[in-house]
Amino acid sequence: MDCIHVTGIRAYGYTGYLPEEQVLGQWFEVDVKLWLDVSTAGKTDAIEDTLDYRSVINLVKHLITTSKFALIEKLIATIADSILAKCDRLTQVQVILTKPAAPIPDFGGKISLEITRSRV
């Protein structure tokens, strides 16, 4: 199966367990892998025969900026489920969500969560 990678989708959102995360917000970064058959588009050179990934980028940004969850687990599941629901051509989606600046004392690293969802 073919796979489109979209990396570095950044948006400012208000998901977080701590109250200040839901008030002050923070940056999130998302990478997605989108599994689908692109063989027809490879022959026709027509965007109608593939997935216009601009719609996925806009969907991810919209979900990050408008959602307000306590856990990134809920945000990433919402992103993956929404992408699958919107894009009929997809057979599977993988989402990696990163919090570049986790509010943990004496920790300068990143927190990332990865999930894969398949069409049932």
What pLDDT is attached to residue 103?
76
- Using a pLDDT cut of 90, give the percent of the chain over it: 84
Strands 92-99 and 26-36: antiparallel
* pLDDT for residue 120 is more than 80: no
The sign one gets for the Cα dihedral 35, 38, 39, 42 is: negative
Q: Output the pLDDT for position 108.
A: 84
- Average pLDDT taken over every residue of the chain: 95
**Sign of the CA dihedral running 55, 60, 64, 70:** positive
> Strand, helix or coil at 115?
strand
Contacts of 108 (CB under 8 A, 6+ apart): none
Q: Which residues are catalytic?
A: 99
Question: Tokens standing for 26?
Answer: 């923070």
CATH of the domain at 88: 3.30.1130.10
CA distances from 75 to 14, 36, 86 (A): 10, 23, 16
pTM (global) more than 0.85: yes
Please give the backbone phi and psi of residue 111, each rounded to the nearest 5 degrees, phi first: -115, 125
Kindly tell me if the per-residue pLDDT of 8 is higher than 90.
yes
- 100 alpha carbon, distance to own chain's centre: 15
Give the number of domains in the chain: 1
On whether the CB atoms of residues 95 and 115 are closer than 8 A, the answer is yes
Dump pLDDT digits (tens) for 20-51.
889 999 999 999 999 999 999 999 999 999 99
| Domain encompassing residue 62 | 2-118
